[in-house]
Structures are given as C-alpha cells and as structure tokens.
Chain A
Amino acid sequence: MMSKEKMTSMQRVLTTLEHKEPDRVPLFLLLTTHGAKELGLSIKDYFSSAANVVEGQLRLLQKYKHDCLLGFFYAPAEIEAWGGEVIYYDDGPPNSGRPFIGSNAEIDRLSPPKIKETPVLQNILAAIRLLHQKSAGKTPVLGVAVSPFSVPVMQMGFDAYLDLIYGQPQLFERLMEINEAFCVDWANAQLEAGATAICYFDPVSSPTIIPRDDYLTTGYLVAKRTINRINGPVATHLASGIALPIIDDIVETGSGAVGISASEDLAKIKEACRGKLTIIGNLNGIEMARWNEQETAAAVKAAIAKGAPGGGFILADNHGEIPWQVPGDVLLALSEAVRTHGCYPIDRELDKNE
C-alpha cells in the first residue's frame, strides 16, 4: 500500500482536526518538567526564564520527534498571577498552595490580574512568542488557559468551591464573571503571542466531578460564553475525568477537540466524537512511568486501532501533562511506536496482531 507524503507536524495536526487522515497519527507529548531535565536545571530554575522553557521545548521536540511545542509552564502560574502561592517540588510540577480566597466575602472584592503587569504571565507570553518564531509555522504551539469554572479549585479549595456552587449561586455567578474576563484575556493574549490553539483545561466539568444536569447550568454555560470570546481554536481537556456523557455538550460549547481519560473506552468515545470532535488521549500517564518497550508499543497500538481511523485523533497522555517520573526511554519507545504503527491507513486489527 502506498504511504502518504510526509507532512509537517502542523499539516498533520490540521488534517486530523478536519477529521481527515494525515500521513500518520499526530503525537502530542505534553512535557513540562522534562525540559528541566534536558537542561540540567531544577524545576524552579527552569521555569524562572522563558529562554529555558523555549530551549527545553526545542530539545524535547528534537529528541522525541513529536508534533507540538508547549507554551504551558504550570497550572498555578495563573494562581500566582492572582497573588496566590505556588509550591515547587524537585520531582513534579509546581502546585498551588493554600487557597487565596479565604472566605466567600472576598469574592466581591476580587478583580482579575492585569496580564501586562504580571511577570509570570509575561514570561509565558515571551516563551510562546519565541516558540512561534522558532517553529516557523511547521509545529503547532499550544497555549493553556484554566477554565473559569475549574480555576476556583485552586483559588478557594475544592470543598469550599462545591459549597459555593450548591449553596450560593449568586456569588458563584459573580466569581464566574470575574474569572471569565480573565480567562478570555489570557487565552487571547497567548493567541496574539503566536499560540496556534488554546487548551481549555476544565476538569470540574467532567461527569467524574459534577453531574451532567448540574454541568448544564454551570460549567457548560461558562464554557460556551468563554470559548465564544476566544479568538482561535480551542480544545477542552478534562484532565483524567470522563467525557463520554457530555461529548455533544462539549461540541456545543464551540470546542474542536477533547482530552479524555485513560479509564474510558476509546472505541465508544470515537463513536460519539466521529466527525464532530477530535480526541486527544488517552495513554495512562501514571502507569507510563514503569512501562517497558513492549508495554509501550501495546498501549500505542491499542489506542491507535480504536481512535485513529478516519482522523480526528491525536495520541497523547490522559492528563495533559506527562509526569516527571516517566523515563526518556519510554518516551522514545512511544515516539518510535507511533512511527511504526501510526501511519495511515490504519490497520483496525493492529492491537490484535503480534
């Protein structure tokens, strides 16, 4: 069988987003802290400079030959922008510290951070600008914005936030209004800096966290309003939460792709998403830390056989960030397996063959 002409990463990704088959399955290795390993820096030092992150991303791209550059530093960068605490670790991504909204009364006094006056956000934008320049249109540069509906988990703590949603709907709406304003500005600033698309990181909207009926009156409406004002393509990521019961709703929000959980049946997701939503996923990022070459190839083959036929599929991990503990050998094996088994047309029995 004739193989298709080799595409650039950008062509490959755009083709699959149109629900057509590119030359091979696009691979997004969503690596953040691994860039620090490449540069021999501590995670904290690595993220202190845009130049480090750009250099890290370029080295990772060269080494693993995957299909994106990630302009994302760490989720609590947004919390830092709001004045919250970020805690650094030696062996994992920075995490948000004690919630900065201590009481519901503080919500009324809250105002969104100004992007131009916030060093951490400016650092990220500088990295995106450089990545865009270096990619020369050949590799997509991904930006990330935490959804207005999910960011309160870091702003005020998960339990306090659920109490707010169910106990004080008016105050909840007020918080959404403030967060939506910031999210739209932040996503658009990244697009202006050169990001190809925005990953709308929205785990709270998953039916793992909130019932669909409640989602339809909360996270869904927030996503619809927000994504509508973002001036570029958006992919929704539920960060290990399930997606199947809300696939059609996600389509309605204006999102073009969805990041799904390792615990979901990819075949069922494919059926629900076909022609409507590109799937990003769903390799188990935690188990990945101890996969050997055979296990890596088996996981890649299984995902490709179910998700890739017809396009509309990007192979990635299930969470949107590969853990620091995943060794380089596994990432190389992953990349190799995609090159070996991911060329179109896809053998639908791929995962059943020896």
Chain B
Amino acid sequence: MADIIKTFREALMASNAESAEKIMLEYKKQGSPLPFVEEVLVKVLDSIGSGWEKGDYALSQVYMSGRICEDLLDKYLPDESEQRKNKPKMSIALLNDYHSLGKKIVYSTLRASGYHLHDYGRVEVEDLVENIMEDQVELVLISVLMFPSALQVKNVVNKLADYGCNVKIAVGGAPFRLDHRLWREVGADAVGYTAADALHIAKSFAGGTE
C-alpha cells in the first residue's frame, strides 16, 4: 500500500494525469473506485495539503493534484453516482473577492474525495444567505482572500442566526491563516488552513470520527 501511495503522489507531483489514472485503474480493476479513493487518493491529497502548511509543497502543486484527482473522479464516479457522499449536505462559496483559487482547491479536493457539494461561486452576503436558506445545507465552506471579506463572515453568521438557521460555517483563506483567532471572532464553527483540513471538517460534520 505504501508503494501505491508513494507512486500516486509522485504522479500528482509531476502533474502526470495519465500515470495517475493508470495507477487508479490498476488498483480498482473492474470494481468501484471508492476503495481507491478512501485508501489512496484521500490519503495522498491529505498529505499534500498538510505538506503545504509545513512548507513542503507549493500551492500550485496542491491545485494541480486536486484538479487531476477531480477529473479522475468525474470520469469514474460522476456527480449523479449514488456512491457519491451526500452527507453532510454542504456547499462552498467565495465571499466578496474574485480570487477563487483557494475555493477551487477545496472544491476539487472534496469532489475528488467522493463528496458532492454545491458551488455558489463568487457571492456577496445577501446572496450567500439566500442560497444557504434555499438549499438547507448543513455545512457551508466560505473562502476569502481579503481581510474585509473575512470580517463579512460575521454578517453572514448574524443574518443566518436572525433566520433561525443552524447551518455550520467553516471558513478558510489568507486572513484566517495569518490570524488564528479571527475565525472565532467572526463567529465561524470551524476553520480550515488547508484543503486537507476541509476534508477533516466535512468528515467530522458528517458524523465521522477524526
């Protein structure tokens, strides 16, 4: 197993989509891709995400590996597949800013790990609250780049509370990485510093154990 994890990680680091696909097909043979996802892919994406936090990998590597894995899963485990994980019912959004890389990385990582989630794209506070209420999601992941946008999360939390909505809010992005107290100050329920953290958050809100 350690060999497969190593080879798969190397394929992703080299941005070699062909080799990554070959490794997955070899592993899954004719069966479902889910065991590969759980036993290899999630572990590799997790280690790359955590490696970025430690300075072992660069963001471009996190992005490219997430994209390759997302494409793989789209091919072998399409959105409509019943094997996609629908718990927790979740969505992701980029609040106020136009810099969508962080959101895209988290979205790709979660989808590549078999999760289904709504993508609200770039939204402002009112639209985000409206979307959350309409979809009745259980967990919303909010990505920001700029400090003022991070502070806007408080408005989202307050408006949702006014409506009596008890959705869980997880936040991520540069301001939260630089100030580890900020997520509590804006009233979020969780913070993710890497795409790997987003995976752990999704799992914990789905009732999984960490």
Residues of chain A whose beta carbon lies under 8 Å from any beta carbon of chain B = 87, 89, 91-93, 95-99, 153, 157-159, 162, 165-166, 207-211, 214, 240, 242, 262-263, 284-287, 289, 318, 323-325
Contacts and interface: CB of A to CB of B under 8 A. Distances in A.
A323 B151 CA distance: 12
Nearest to B58: A211
Interface stretch (B27-35, B84-92, B93-101, B130-138): B93-101
Interface size of B as a range: 20 to 34
Contact of B60 (A98, A157, A214): A214
Interface centre among B52, B55, B58, B175, by most chain A C-beta atoms within 10 angstroms, is B58
Given A208-B58, A286-B182, A159 B98 contact: no
Interface in B133-151: 146-149, 151
Interchain residue pairs A-B with the least CB separation, the first 3? A92-B148, A158-B101, A286-B178
B147 A323 contact: yes
B8 interface: no
Interface in B54-76: 55, 57-61, 63-64
A89 B57 CA distance: 33
A209 B59 contact: yes
B116 interface: no
Contacts of A87: 98
Given A97-B98, A157-B98, A159-B100, 11 more contacts: A99-B98, A157-B99, A157-B101, A158-B100, A159-B63, A159-B104, A207-B55, A210-B58, A286-B182, A325-B147, A325-B151
A166 B101 CA distance: 15
Contacts of A287: 178-179
7 contacts: A89-B148, A91-B151, A96-B98, A158-B99, A208-B58, A286-B178, A287-B178
A286 B57 contact: no
B60 A165 contact: yes
Given A208-B59, A323-B147, A284 B178 contact: yes
Given A89-B148, A210-B58, A284-B178, A98 B98 contact: yes
A50 B55 CA distance: 41
Contacts of A165: 60
A211 B13 CA distance: 10
A290 to B, nearest CB: 8
A211 B147 contact: no
B99 A153 contact: yes
Nearest to A262: B178
Interface of B: 15, 52, 55, 57-61, 63-64, 97-101, 104, 146-149, 151, 174-175, 178-179, 182
Nearest to A157: B100
B148 A91 contact: yes
A97 B98 CA distance: 6
Given A162-B64, A166-B64, A286-B179, A242 B146 contact: no
A208 B100 CA distance: 17
B97 A162 contact: no
A159 B101 contact: yes
Contacts of A162: 60, 63-64, 101
Nearest to A166: B15
B147 A95 contact: no
Interface centre among B15, B97, B98, B175, by most chain A C-beta atoms within 10 angstroms, is B98
Nearest to A92: B148
A89 to B, nearest CB: 6
A95 B101 contact: no
B147 A286 contact: yes
A163 to B, nearest CB: 8
A284 B101 contact: no
A196 to B, nearest CB: 28
Contacts of A91: 148, 151
Contacts of A158: 99-101
Contacts of B58: 207-211, 214
B61 A211 contact: yes
Nearest to A89: B148
Contacts of B175: 286
Given A286-B179, A323-B147, A325-B151, A95 B60 contact: no
Contacts of A324: 148
A92 B59 CA distance: 25
Contacts of B98: 87, 95-99, 157
B183 to A, nearest CB: 12
A20 to B, nearest CB: 32
Given A95-B146, A242-B55, A209 B99 contact: no
A81 to B, nearest CB: 17
A92 B146 contact: yes
